[in-house]
Amino acid sequence: MISVVIPTQNSQATLTRCFDSLIGATAHGVAREVIVADGASTDDTLFIADAAGAHVVQAGKSRASQLAAGAKAARGDWILFLHPETALEPGWDVEAEAFIARVSLERPRAAAFRFGLDDFDARSRRLEAMVALRCWLFKLPYGNQGLLIPRRLYNKLGGYRDTAAEDVDLVRRIGARRLVLLRARAVNKAEATPCALRRRALTILHALRLPAGVLARLG
């Protein structure tokens, strides 16, 4: 049913946690294969992937090229793109299966998960609330929230383009009317997330051609 695609590049620190969140789905037959699209890792990423039984494909250095290579190798009718620093909370597969069952072949739709952090402080809760507001207002989930999409729709849209904000680019082509936010959370490592979100925000503003002087002040 679902092919899980994980882009990696020296991802040994978080990859095991990501794999662990897929065990239930593979045991229940919801996730039929896990593909690691690797950009020439020099750490133990490939060893971890092999030990977990994942199918490894070689890809370029950019995350966009890794996602595209993984999708090309996928055999399922649905593809779940999942970052290696992201772990889906228990029960996600039940919700994903229910979502897939309701989607019409004539009107394909995609889905992302709610954003979560693996910390307990107030700052993490505020950041989660900000991301929830962004998703509610703009229907603009980032790649660290996962993306579950029918292969047919992915191919129709032309897949991932090799841009710095490849996840935002694809979500915009999917469109708000074809995107559903599921209840299950995609839980990310708290220590790296604020900086990553700031870099991503600046990348998107650059893509929108904000003046360089304004970007410098924001950075």
Give which of 148, 17, 175 is closest to 86, Cα–Cα: 17
Tokens found for residue 58: 């070689």
Whether the pLDDT of residue 59 is over 50: the answer is: yes
d(CA 42, CA 35): 18
177 lies in some domain? yes
Least confident of 39-48, 99-108, 141-150, 153-162: 99-108
Percent of the chain surpassing pLDDT 70:
87
15 lies in some domain? yes
- Domain with residue 157: its CATH number is 3.90.550.10
113 lies in some domain? yes
| CB of 204 closer than 8 Å to CB of 109 | no
| CB of 31 closer than 8 Å to CB of 146 | no
Whether the pLDDT of residue 192 is over 80: the answer is: no
The CA-atom distances, in angstroms, between 50 and each of 36, 105, 215 are 9, 34, 42
Residue where the block lists tokens 């703009």: 138
pLDDT in tens, 72-114: 999 999 999 999 999 999 999 999 999 999 997 778 999 999 9
Whether the pLDDT of residue 208 is over 70: the answer is: no
Give which of 87, 80, 83, 71 is closest to 31, Cα–Cα: 80
| CB of 6 closer than 8 Å to CB of 39 | no
197 lies in some domain? no
135 lies in some domain? yes
| Mean pLDDT value across residues 113-137 | 90
Place 30 in a pLDDT band, splitting at 50, 70 and 90: very high
Please give the tally of structural domains in the chain: 1
211 lies in some domain? no
Place 12 in a pLDDT band, splitting at 50, 70 and 90: very high
216 lies in some domain? no
Structural domain range at position 122: 2-189
154 lies in some domain? yes
pTM of the entire predicted model: 0.88
Percent of the chain surpassing pLDDT 90:
71
Tokens found for residue 47: 């060893």
| Mean pLDDT value across residues 158-177 | 93
